[in-house]
């Protein structure tokens, strides 16, 4: 088997002294692992950083085997973000979610396209990282894997307006009027999750991360008795701090 296609680097770990084992996300083949000979060398180490888009060649006798991988850079995102704590945390978080949440050998073209769009946006807007876009990508990942949130109408009243909560059990939106006595048990639904024109505020991002985090933990990681990746916890920590800072500022 041999595939030559663009792929996103999801993770890398050392193998021996000079080699690395990488996990790559392909549009048509899903997540595949492969051995890169000399991947830890000075020449190649910057290529195989998580979040980079690489024109890679994957070869193996059978599709289920650990392949041999070679590659050329298309887009080096990670190297641009080393000085931007929030952008770096955002990239590391979403890549680790993809690494831990996506099944191997299962094509996810929509998730791939949206993740490429997201990491490109993180690289371009490193000074104002697109956290809202990342939360929407997490919701779309959940949908692609069969755990989509239903945010277009209220699960109780059927209303399409004033949707401000989500049921933590069903993932369906609930309007303010429909929340009733369950209001304390419901997850807040930030407006940017419904409208793509709204980019939200840091406190909205925090609510969005808590919302998708609940379902990611429950459906993708919890079923394998794994916690959410530490990279995502760090992102939540940074967004929470940003939210508190903006709340403390005059007019915030």
Partner 1 sequence: MTLTAGGDIERLVRLLSRLPGMGPRSARRAALALLTQPQARLVPLAHAMEAAARNVRTCSVCGTLDSHDPCAICADPQRDHGLVCVVETVGDLWALERAVIHRGVYQVLGGTLSALSGRGPDDLNTRSLFERVRSGEVREVILALGATVEGATTAHWLHERLAPTGVAVTRVGHGVPIGGSLDVLDDGTLAAALSARRPA
Residue 103: HSE in the Cβ half-sphere, 13 Å Cα cutoff: 11
The distance of closest approach from Cβ of residue 82 to partner 1 in the complex, given in angstroms and rounded to an integer, is 4
- Using the structure block, give the residue that is written with the tokens 């831990």: 100
Which H or E run contains 238? helix 230-248
Could you tell me how many residues make up the chain? 252
For partner 1, the closer CB: 73 or 109: 73
Residues 6+ apart with CB under 8 A from 105: 29, 30, 31, 32, 63, 64
- Residue 157 and residue 159: Cα distance in Å, rounded? 5
For partner 1, the closer CB: 89 or 132: 89
The distance of closest approach from Cβ of residue 79 to partner 1 in the complex, given in angstroms and rounded to an integer, is 2
Paired residues of 35 in beta bridges: 21, 68
What residues make contact with partner 1 under the rule CB under 8 A?
11, 13, 17, 45-47, 49-52, 73, 75-83, 85, 88-89, 91-92, 96, 229-231, 234
The distance of closest approach from Cβ of residue 231 to partner 1 in the complex, given in angstroms and rounded to an integer, is 6
Reading the block at residue 237, the tokens are: 């920590």
For partner 1, the closer CB: 41 or 45: 45
For partner 1, the closer CB: 80 or 153: 80
For partner 1, the closer CB: 97 or 174: 97
The distance of closest approach from Cβ of residue 207 to partner 1 in the complex, given in angstroms and rounded to an integer, is 23
How far from chain centre, in Å, is Cα 57? 24
The distance of closest approach from Cβ of residue 36 to partner 1 in the complex, given in angstroms and rounded to an integer, is 15
């Amino acid at each position: 088997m041999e595939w030559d296609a663009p792929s996103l680097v999801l993770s890398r770990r050392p193998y021996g002294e000079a080699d690395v084992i990488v996990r790559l996300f392909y549009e048509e083949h899903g997540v595949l692992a492969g051995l890169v000979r000399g991947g830890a060398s000075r020449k190649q180490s910057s290529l195989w950083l998580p979040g980079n888009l690489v024109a890679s060649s994957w070869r193996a006798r059978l599709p289920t085997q650990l392949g041999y991988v070679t590659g050329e850079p298309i887009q080096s995102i990670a190297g641009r973000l080393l000085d931007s704590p929030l952008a770096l945390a955002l990239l590391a978080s979403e890549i680790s979610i993809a690494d831990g949440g996506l099944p191997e050998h299962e094509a996810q073209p929509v998730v791939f396209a949206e993740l490429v769009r997201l990491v490109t946006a993180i690289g371009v807007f490193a000074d104002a990282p697109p956290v809202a876009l990342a939360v929407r990508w997490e919701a779309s990942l959940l949908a692609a894997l069969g755990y989509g949130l239903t945010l277009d109408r209220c699960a109780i009243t059927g209303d399409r307006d004033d949707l401000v909560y989500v049921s933590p059990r069903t993932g369906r939106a609930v309007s303010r009027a429909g929340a009733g006595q369950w209001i304390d048990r419901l997850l807040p639904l930030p407006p940017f999750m419904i409208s793509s024109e709204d980019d939200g505020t840091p406190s909205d991002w925090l609510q969005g991360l808590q919302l998708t985090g609940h379902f990611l933990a429950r459906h993708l990681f919890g079923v394998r008795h794994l916690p959410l990746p530490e990279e995502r916890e760090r992102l939540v920590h940074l967004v929470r701090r940003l939210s508190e800072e903006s709340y403390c500022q005059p007019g915030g």
